Amino acid sequence: MEFDKKSKEIVEFCKIVRKELGNVCFDNIIAQLNTHKYFLGQKLGRNPSLSETVESYKSEVFLPVCHLIKNWEFDIAFKKEQRECLYFSFLEHLYLKRKEQPSLNIETVAHDFCLNYGDNKRGRMLVNLLLKCKAC
Protein backbone atom coordinates (compact mmCIF):
# COMPACT_ATOMS: atom_id res chain seq x y z
CA MET A 1 0.00 0.00 0.00
CA GLU A 2 1.36 3.40 -0.94
CA PHE A 3 1.65 6.23 1.53
CA ASP A 4 -0.74 9.17 1.51
CA LYS A 5 1.10 12.25 0.24
CA LYS A 6 -0.97 14.44 2.56
CA SER A 7 -0.18 12.59 5.78
CA LYS A 8 1.51 14.68 8.46
CA GLU A 9 4.66 12.52 8.44
CA ILE A 10 5.09 12.78 4.68
CA VAL A 11 4.45 16.53 4.59
CA GLU A 12 6.96 17.14 7.42
CA PHE A 13 9.57 14.89 5.82
CA CYS A 14 9.12 16.59 2.46
CA LYS A 15 9.88 19.94 4.11
CA ILE A 16 13.22 18.51 5.23
CA VAL A 17 13.82 17.07 1.76
CA ARG A 18 13.14 20.41 0.11
CA LYS A 19 15.46 22.16 2.53
CA GLU A 20 18.28 19.73 1.71
CA LEU A 21 17.71 19.05 -1.98
CA GLY A 22 15.48 21.79 -3.35
CA ASN A 23 12.23 21.23 -5.17
CA VAL A 24 11.93 17.45 -5.30
CA CYS A 25 9.02 15.56 -6.86
CA PHE A 26 6.80 14.09 -4.13
CA ASP A 27 6.30 10.94 -6.22
CA ASN A 28 10.04 10.20 -6.14
CA ILE A 29 10.11 10.50 -2.36
CA ILE A 30 6.99 8.35 -1.97
CA ALA A 31 8.57 5.68 -4.20
CA GLN A 32 11.73 5.75 -2.08
CA LEU A 33 9.72 5.44 1.13
CA ASN A 34 7.67 2.54 -0.25
CA THR A 35 10.84 0.69 -1.24
CA HIS A 36 12.38 1.39 2.15
CA LYS A 37 9.19 0.19 3.87
CA TYR A 38 9.48 -3.15 2.08
CA PHE A 39 13.11 -3.70 3.16
CA LEU A 40 12.44 -2.43 6.69
CA GLY A 41 9.52 -4.86 6.93
CA GLN A 42 11.83 -7.70 5.88
CA LYS A 43 14.31 -6.67 8.57
CA LEU A 44 11.67 -6.29 11.31
CA GLY A 45 9.56 -9.28 10.31
CA ARG A 46 6.41 -7.15 10.30
CA ASN A 47 4.75 -4.29 8.47
CA PRO A 48 6.33 -1.04 9.75
CA SER A 49 4.23 2.02 10.45
CA LEU A 50 4.51 5.19 8.42
CA SER A 51 6.35 6.92 11.27
CA GLU A 52 8.82 4.05 11.62
CA THR A 53 9.44 4.02 7.88
CA VAL A 54 9.98 7.77 7.61
CA GLU A 55 12.31 7.89 10.63
CA SER A 56 14.28 4.88 9.44
CA TYR A 57 14.60 6.24 5.89
CA LYS A 58 15.60 9.66 7.18
CA SER A 59 18.31 8.35 9.51
CA GLU A 60 19.61 5.39 7.50
CA VAL A 61 19.38 6.71 3.93
CA PHE A 62 18.39 10.33 3.46
CA LEU A 63 20.61 12.19 5.92
CA PRO A 64 23.77 10.11 5.31
CA VAL A 65 23.42 10.53 1.53
CA CYS A 66 22.69 14.26 1.85
CA HIS A 67 25.78 14.61 4.01
CA LEU A 68 27.85 12.89 1.32
CA ILE A 69 26.54 14.97 -1.57
CA LYS A 70 27.36 18.16 0.32
CA ASN A 71 30.91 16.87 0.67
CA TRP A 72 33.85 18.49 -1.13
CA GLU A 73 34.27 15.40 -3.28
CA PHE A 74 30.84 15.78 -4.84
CA ASP A 75 31.35 19.52 -5.22
CA ILE A 76 34.53 18.94 -7.20
CA ALA A 77 33.18 16.10 -9.34
CA PHE A 78 29.70 17.47 -10.02
CA LYS A 79 29.86 21.24 -10.29
CA LYS A 80 26.88 21.49 -12.63
CA GLU A 81 24.55 18.93 -11.09
CA GLN A 82 21.61 19.80 -8.88
CA ARG A 83 21.50 18.06 -5.52
CA GLU A 84 18.17 16.41 -6.35
CA CYS A 85 19.65 14.73 -9.42
CA LEU A 86 22.77 13.70 -7.53
CA TYR A 87 20.71 12.26 -4.70
CA PHE A 88 18.59 9.98 -6.86
CA SER A 89 21.47 9.04 -9.18
CA PHE A 90 23.66 8.17 -6.22
CA LEU A 91 20.91 6.05 -4.64
CA GLU A 92 20.63 4.04 -7.84
CA HIS A 93 24.42 3.59 -7.94
CA LEU A 94 24.46 2.57 -4.27
CA TYR A 95 21.72 0.00 -4.86
CA LEU A 96 23.53 -1.52 -7.85
CA LYS A 97 26.92 -1.62 -6.10
CA ARG A 98 25.50 -3.20 -2.95
CA LYS A 99 23.64 -5.73 -5.07
CA GLU A 100 27.08 -6.86 -6.33
CA GLN A 101 28.85 -6.44 -2.97
CA PRO A 102 26.45 -6.09 -0.01
CA SER A 103 29.22 -5.21 2.46
CA LEU A 104 30.36 -2.04 0.65
CA ASN A 105 30.16 1.03 2.84
CA ILE A 106 28.48 4.17 1.61
CA GLU A 107 31.73 6.20 1.50
CA THR A 108 33.42 3.69 -0.80
CA VAL A 109 30.44 3.77 -3.13
CA ALA A 110 30.47 7.58 -3.04
CA HIS A 111 34.13 7.69 -4.09
CA ASP A 112 33.40 5.26 -6.91
CA PHE A 113 30.42 7.33 -8.03
CA CYS A 114 32.42 10.56 -8.10
CA LEU A 115 35.36 9.02 -9.92
CA ASN A 116 33.25 7.26 -12.54
CA TYR A 117 30.45 9.72 -13.15
CA GLY A 118 31.80 13.15 -12.24
CA ASP A 119 31.28 15.68 -15.02
CA ASN A 120 34.56 17.45 -14.39
CA LYS A 121 37.68 15.58 -15.54
CA ARG A 122 40.03 17.76 -13.49
CA GLY A 123 37.76 17.27 -10.50
CA ARG A 124 37.83 13.49 -10.92
CA MET A 125 41.61 13.56 -11.13
CA LEU A 126 41.83 15.68 -7.97
CA VAL A 127 39.44 13.39 -6.10
CA ASN A 128 41.50 10.38 -7.15
CA LEU A 129 44.73 12.05 -6.05
CA LEU A 130 43.27 13.10 -2.69
CA LEU A 131 41.94 9.59 -2.07
CA LYS A 132 45.38 8.15 -2.78
CA CYS A 133 46.88 10.63 -0.32
CA LYS A 134 44.35 9.63 2.34
CA ALA A 135 45.43 6.01 1.94
CA CYS A 136 49.08 6.88 2.64
The reported pLDDT for the residue numbered 136 is 44
* 3 state SS for 98-120: HHHCCCCCHHHHHHHHHHHHCCC
Convert the pLDDT of each residue in 59-105 to its tens digit. Answer: 999 999 999 888 877 877 887 667 888 898 899 999 999 999 999 99
Mean pLDDT within 118-127: 63
Report pTM: 0.79
Count of Cβ atoms closer than 10 Å to residue 63 Cβ: 13
Mean pLDDT within 28-33: 88
pLDDT band of 134, cuts 50, 70, 90: low
Assign 123 to helix, strand or coil: helix
The structural domains of the chain, with segments of one domain joined by +, span 1-62, 71-136
Quick check: 10 and 4 in contact, CB under 8 A?
yes
Mean pLDDT within 128-134: 56
